[in-house]
Structure 1
Amino acid sequence: VRPTLAAVEAGKKILLANKETLVVTGALFMDAVKRHGATLLPVDSEHNAIFQCLPAEGVGPGVRRLLLTASGGPFRGWTREQLTEVTPEQAVCHPNWDMGPKISVDSATLMNKGLEYIEACWLFDVAPERIEVVIHPQSVVHSMVEYLDGSVLAQMGTPDMRTPIACALSWPERIESGASRLDFATLSGLDFQAPDNQAFPCLGLARQAMEEGGAATAVLNAANEEAVAAFLDRRLGFNAIGAVVEETLQRTPSSRCADVDAVMDVDARARDLARSLIREWAC
């Protein structure tokens, strides 16, 4: 948070690749961008896709909703009962993307998509109800924008982070990214389905935190980081990740923070509570 805010306060062009800055500080961060005249460009593949599909003026009256796509992770189609015995080794094996352990677990629980949902609300200045998450296993359509006339614009490409990075680096021009070209002749199909909120409650918790406002999203992020670390250390079960986040949200009052120091205080208190819950529910 602090290094990114320092760059914003210097009026730099920010190619934002992390989710936590906006998830944790939200309005404070976006207000700083406006005050200091910084340029904010999204690098995350889903947000970069939406950025490419929007008109230059951003989300206007002609936009109905934003559609964030999610691969569904390694456990797409699993029931909550089946997820009980998931191991860290299974959770970090993402079918489409090569990511670190923490983000891979977030993808497996769908919390990663929840964090992206929160980030999209701030990046594009849209109300939570105007964003929908769609499971798309092939990771070819990176996200979409639906317009009032029924048109849906989608950004497509091979699952390669060099594409959104090149887009952000060269904006408003285009450069070679080095990513493989999409071969439509070899695509067997593109599938879409609604997320299973019963088996994967973290997505719903992220939506709940965003709707609640205040520091709730900072609490969500802090509790999730602690729970995922405990899962990777085999101190917590896979399904308990969401349970720790939910309980931490319920027990932490959501107050509006006046500055980053206040947000960090909320973060610290949420982590303390999450660690206490993890000790109670340890495997």
Structure 2
Amino acid sequence: MLASAEQSGSVVPVILLGSTGSIGTQAREVIDAHPGRFHVVGVSAGGSSIEVLAEQIVALAPAFVGVARDVREELVVAVRALGGQCPQVFVGEQASVDVVRASVERAGEDYPGLVPVVLNGITGGVGLSSTLAALECGARLALANKESLVVGGALVKNAMRFPGQIVPVDSEHSAIAQALASGVHERGLTSPVVSGRSEVADLVLTASGGPFRGRTREQLRGVRAQQALAHPTWQMGPVVTINSSTLINKGLELIEAHLLFDVAPEHIIATVHPQSIVHSMVTWCDGATTLQASPPDMRLPIALGLTWPERLEGVEKPLTWTAASQWTFEPVDNETFPAVDLARFAVGESATHPAVLNAANEVLVDAFIAGEVPWLAIVDTVSAVVHEHTGVVDPSLDDIVAAQRWADQRARELVRAGQWKDM
């Protein structure tokens, strides 16, 4: 097995996917704060933020760049305007995959014996191909793109080439990984098992509750995108923020936790914690609970994902204990926010139901932001699509792609045909 950078004391070769998004830009802050610790070999982005991408190219000097949109000429001009030269640029739907493969190969030449880290910060199910490519190339995958695991399921797990190859970057799953690591007999990311039985009783996912915590379904009629995008705690991209408002994000995280940690869905609990200080918990078979707490700052799980299991110094300011504070927890209102129960149903039905849930949700979120559907229609319509789906027991990649396409088409049909007067 290749050595980690921690073992060798060398730099960490890094490939940043979704480099101009929320995760990518915060990863850049971590990298800039630790000069000499990281070498960015490749970056990829959607192509909507040319100026940001050009600045990253000049500052980080990656060998490879990928853009989903064909904006190569604009990018070259923007980089030259900053006094730099564009490296090799891949363009198209597979640009991120091309960047992963080329960058991992280059990292092997420049840093023989080290495991490069691919940070997948792409938004949505489109990140699946990049996740699979990173695993198949033997890189360590710092996974912020939960949708690719939700969609890919067993395909993603079967693509892993060594234990602990996937390191979760979502704050909740990073918290669970840290809590599990505190209880394992050999440091790792799997549930502690002693004498053939797991010591884990439950995983507890914390949710901020989003901007609509405490409201009833009736009170949420007619809410607008601007309201749903006003998250009280976290600064995130629009899709993730809308998902937080519906708690679909917590449903996706339940599926992700089930797949990452091999814990049955019925033993994964969600609780509302508006302070967003406790990021998730593990309850053990003896009744003890281990939690991970820190300020709500994504740079900590990003940094840990880049260097796992080593911790970098000074990533964020620790909590202080000299002033009074209060942490509160409350159950999820499943009547107003049925998304968590919907996800639990989906993962229990078949291996393709989670892919359908995610694809339909992406359509509905876009439609809501565009003003085509009301907020209440998001989860209601996703639920309708999920319940219509006929699942596949042991799907191939083609089966998963087909399920996503069907869900996308069916969700669009329901959006066009929708009657939203009472929402």
Count of residues paired in the alignment: 282
1:213, distance to aligned residue in structure 2 (A): 2.1
1:46, distance to aligned residue in structure 2 (A): 0.3
Q: Which runs of 5+ in 1 are unaligned?
A: none
1:152-190 deviation digits (Å, cap 9, x = unpaired): 100000000111112222222211253122112335200
- In structure 2, relative to structure 1, the CA distance for the partners of 1:123 and 1:236 (3 Å cut) is same
- Tell me what 1:13 maps to: 140
- Tell me what 1:263 maps to: 400
The question of whether the paired residues in 2 share the 8 Å contact of 1:70 and 1:134 is answered with: yes
CA distance in 2, matches of 1:223, 1:198: 20
1:213-266 deviation digits (Å, cap 9, x = unpaired): 220000000111101110001100111101111110121111135321221111
1:63, distance to aligned residue in structure 2 (A): 1.1
Aligned: 1:45 with 2:175: no
Aligned: 1:23 with 2:150: yes
SS at match of 1:14: strand
The question of whether the paired residues in 2 share the 8 Å contact of 1:166 and 1:177 is answered with: no
- Tell me what 2:32 maps to: none
> What letter is aligned with 1:138?
Q
Aligned: 1:229 with 2:356: no
CA distance in 1, matches of 2:314, 2:419: 45
- Tell me what 1:136 maps to: 273
The question of whether the paired residues in 2 share the 8 Å contact of 1:111 and 1:202 is answered with: yes
The question of whether the paired residues in 2 share the 8 Å contact of 1:257 and 1:263 is answered with: no
Q: 1:49-198 maps to which residues of 2 (within 5 A)?
A: 49-54=175-180, 55=184, 56=187, 58-59=190-191, 60=193, 61-198=198-335
SS at match of 2:153: helix
CA distance in 2, matches of 1:174, 1:280: 51
Farther-moved stretch of structure 1 (55-64 vs 121-130): 55-64
| 4+ residue runs over 6 A deviation | none
- In structure 2, relative to structure 1, the CA distance for the partners of 1:8 and 1:177 (3 Å cut) is farther
> What letter is aligned with 1:178?
V
CA distance in 1, matches of 2:319, 2:312: 16
> What letter is aligned with 1:120?
A
SS at match of 2:210: coil
CA distance in 2, matches of 1:41, 1:187: 34
CA distance in 1, matches of 2:144, 2:344: 21
CA distance in 1, matches of 2:231, 2:210: 6
TM-score, normalised to structure 2, is 0.65
1:9, distance to aligned residue in structure 2 (A): 0.6
Q: Which runs of 5+ in 2 are unaligned?
A: 1-127
1:103-157 deviation digits (Å, cap 9, x = unpaired): 1110000000100110000000111111101110000000000111111100000
Q: Percent identity?
A: 46
- Tell me what 2:341 maps to: 204
The question of whether the paired residues in 1 share the 8 Å contact of 2:131 and 2:156 is answered with: no
Aligned: 1:253 with 2:390: yes
CA distance in 1, matches of 2:303, 2:277: 17
- Tell me what 1:3 maps to: 130
CA distance in 2, matches of 1:184, 1:241: 41
SS at match of 2:331: coil
The question of whether the paired residues in 1 share the 8 Å contact of 2:392 and 2:399 is answered with: no
Larger proportion of helix: 1
> What letter is aligned with 1:17?
A
The question of whether the paired residues in 2 share the 8 Å contact of 1:219 and 1:252 is answered with: yes
